[in-house]
Amino acid sequence: MVYQHGTPYVTPHILHKHYAQAFDAEPSNLVGRDIEYFSQAGFDMDRIQIKRNAPVALLYEDAIRNEGAIISSSGALINFSGKKTGRSPKDKRIVYEETSKDDIWWGSVNIKMDEHTFEINRERAIDYLNTRENVYVFDGFAGWDPKYRIKVRVICARAYHALFMNNMLIRPTEEELANFGEPDFIIYNAGQFPANRFTKGMSSTTSVEINFKRMEMVILGTEYAGEMKKGVFSVMHYLQPVKFGQLSLHSSANFDKEKGDVTLFFGLSGTGKTTLSADPSRLLIGDDEHVWSDTGVFNIEGGCYAKCINLSAEKEPEIFSAIRFGSILENVVYSPQTRIADYDDISITENTRCAYPIEFMSNASIPCLVDRQPSNIIMLTCDAFGVLPPVSKLSPEQAEYHFLAGYTSKTPGTEDGVLEPIPTFSTCYSAPFIILHPGRYAEMLSERMSKHNVDCWLINTGWTGGRYGSGSRCPLKYTRRIVDAIPTAVEGVPRELLNPRLAWKDQEAFEREVRKLGGMFMKAFALYEKDVAEKVRLAGPKL
């Protein structure tokens, strides 16, 4: 018998006829007004109920007592995010204000919100938090390199959210916490409380919004903890290029224990970025968010957020062993008799996750930074059409082309409503989180690759022998061997897997899928053609 545990916190789900309002709605005439014009709502940091950087054991106790959490057989805390089990990209907003409006890449990813609406939602969130019996504050850092790090404060009303950010941010020492001072960025997470869907610019009862002028984030109507993680990344994706002149990347990174060579892995959720970077023969810098700086590579985060679907000790031993006391299992079904997590059960969501401090990885390099430039870049894609080879070496022009195109397939569970792989083009392999125009990131990447003579490889972790539904996904063990060798031939990997044409029984069907995917690349890249050199435009597929 498998028990699907409920949670007392369920966000009301009310669809509105103006859902997904156009991103280019008329900005408010309040842009540029002095910030004192707006709400003076504040948060009382001296409240006796506030628990700042609480011990993990205390957060366990509160989550069990107040939120219906349980302790798994491995010692991890199993908790639940309610109605929302993935990010809500249609409800993400960026405040249109004079300090950042000329840098933001406005569109369907960065949807405009006026300052007045932000102040309404901010006050709504703070008022809600001020009524809670338990309020949690976590102060931590984003960025392991002290030259480029920022101080982040998270204010929330669920122990689950406090423990999550305790794991995902860089935890300060006692001395650093005593001297923390004022934060550079604040997250007000009132996710249990809905947004007012009739407020101007709202598309639903969920709102996730960032204000670069205030350097604040407000969350209403979603308890999915990943929104906070990606909010911090969005801020770093803005600050690193604009303020520090460094390149922020949606990537994992590791380096060889003996040779010291650094590899960056680009890819969206579900492409294998986390899994492939957790290589026992190499030291892990981080699994998801990094900055390629003038002096080397550093992790933005203090933890890992791994997918748990079909997780096993045999397939992913490093991640499996990290699930212990202090980790959070999110939306994972378990046995009520044994408290053993069932990673194959997706009755709650396919987007089951585990968040744990990076030091729980036996091969983690602490501190998570290296003063050495990368030797290899690996661009991971999950090809649902089954036509891309498992490995291709890219020229510098091809690397820039594929970085801008960012082809992959959205996999089930990473966003609400995704139930099977959907081919998509996610520019810079981070479209849901991108802040500046993609060309700015691509130009910085190209410059760094040329300067440091970095090789680039496109690796397909998707389907072979047919498209999704008829073929099969490339086995992880083969992909690992390819990554280890980066070759023209790989011992122990079937020849037909390296050449997708040989893996298809129906050659006409293969050609149809090739033409279909090539056409999709051309259509997607048309958005960037006018902003890139001719040699980059010519690096795309030729039909």
Active site residues: 87, 230, 250, 269, 273-274, 288, 353
- What is the Cα–Cα distance from 471 to 465, expressed in whole angstroms? 5
Buried b (16+ CB within 10 A) or exposed e, 103-137: ebbeeebbbbbbbbbbbbbbbbbbebbbebebbbb
Three-class secondary structure of residue 110 per DSSP:
coil
Cβ atoms of 448 and 292 closer than 8 Å? yes
Cβ atoms of 227 and 87 closer than 8 Å? yes
Q: Which helix (H) or strand (E) holds 442?
A: helix 438-452
Cβ atoms of 457 and 394 closer than 8 Å? yes
**Ranges assigned E (strand) in 178-331:** 185-190, 207-211, 216-220, 247-256, 262-266, 282-286, 289-292, 297-299, 303-307, 328-330
Please state whether the peptide bond connecting residue 367 to the residue before it is cis, i.e. omega within 30 degrees of 0.
yes
- What is the Cα–Cα distance from 59 to 79, expressed in whole angstroms? 12
Q: How far is CA 94 from CA 24, 69, 231, 285, 510, in A?
A: 12, 33, 11, 30, 42
Residue 244 CB coordination number (10 Å): 18
